[in-house]
Amino acid sequence: MSTVQSDSLFVQEASARRVRNGMPTNDLVFSAYAEGNDDVFPRIMDLYVAPSSVVADVTFGKGVFWRNVPNGMYQLLATDIQNGIDCRALPYSDGEIDCVVLDPPYMHSPGGTAHTAHQAFERHYRNNGTGNRTNKKYHEAVLSLYEDAGSEAHRVLRDKGVLIVKCQDEVCSNRQRFTHVEIMQAYEQMGFVAEDLFVVMRKNRPGVSRAVQQVHARKNHSYFLVFWKSDGSKRIWEAP
């Protein structure tokens, strides 16, 4: 191949890769932030959920995620187990929701004053004992909650509906548990496609530990995972 031919092919390939209608910018949504959930969540919504979509936040709590989302941008259905609606038994019909947001208490409390911010799991889902729809304990109960809630989200979501999940890894019984990986594996078995992952790093230092010797790195970050409901075809994600 001559030099002229080679140069011509390079120009053709470069032209094919050029974005014709795009504008140069660095105002983008990134995969990691040292900001609060209320700052990161609206960026994820902008990227993955079209305005006016029906969004079921099934663990709404105090609505922290929504503090910086303009009122009326989405048709928000806000429920929580504290108000009597369990994320594992939603009052919606099959396929009627565009997006589900799931942020259950995601760490067990082994006793004493450890993980005091996460006592809601024991209080609402009884993961230090048995009962309340599960016969599992500790981290396995946490994972079971995500699995059951994910299955219910799959039921109520429309085809290509979006599931946004908040989670954090933990160490349980001195064993490293990569919760975000376990959730991805379980949800893909249900028919979800894992499309994106966002890392949220806490700005303050974690609480004081009384461990004699540190064995694992202390967690100072959490995740938003983004899935979409597949109908079994080999389609790729398309921006809303």
* Whole-Å CA distances, 24 to 20, 27, 44: 11, 9, 21
- Cα–Cα dist 211/224, whole Å: 29
Q: Which of 83-92, 129-138, 155-164 has the lowest mean pLDDT?
A: 129-138
Is the confidence at residue 217, as pLDDT, over 60? yes
Kindly state the tokens that stand for 55: 């969004």
pLDDT digit string, tens, across residues 28-73: 999 999 999 999 999 999 999 999 999 999 999 999 999 999 999 9
Which is nearest to 124 in space by CA: 91, 89, 81, 85?
81
C-beta neighbour count of 69 within 10 angstroms? 17
Q: How many CB atoms lie within 10 A of CB 171?
A: 15
- pLDDT band at residue 5 under the 50/70/90 scheme: low
pLDDT level of residue 137 (50, 70, 90 thresholds): low
Give the DSSP H/E element, type plus range, for residue 99: strand 97-102
- What backbone torsions phi and psi does residue 176 show, to the nearest 5 degrees? -70, 125
Tell me: the pLDDT tens digits for 152-195? 999 999 999 999 999 988 776 667 777 899 999 999 999 999 99
3-state helix, strand, coil split of the chain in percent (to 5) is: 30, 20, 45
Which helix (H) or strand (E) covers residue 141, if one does? helix 138-156
Write down the pLDDT at residue 127: 39
Mean pLDDT of the chain: 80
What's the whole-number mean pLDDT along residues 81-108? 89
Band (96; pLDDT cuts 50, 70, 90): very high
